[in-house]
Structure 1
Amino acid sequence: MVQYLDLEYWGKVKEIANADEEFRIKTKMFNASFTYGATDNDAIPQIYMKFDDGEVVEV
Structure 2
Amino acid sequence: MGLGDKISNAAEDMGGKAKEAVGNATDNDRLKAEGQKDQVKADAKKVGENIKDEFKRD
Greater share of strand: 1
Both proteins in one fold, TM over 0.5: no
Q: Which has the larger radius of gyration?
A: 2
Q: Which has the higher contact order (CA 8 A, sep 6+)?
A: 2
Q: TM-score range by the shorter chain?
A: 0.3 to 0.5
Taking structure 1 as the reference length, the TM-score comes to: 0.35
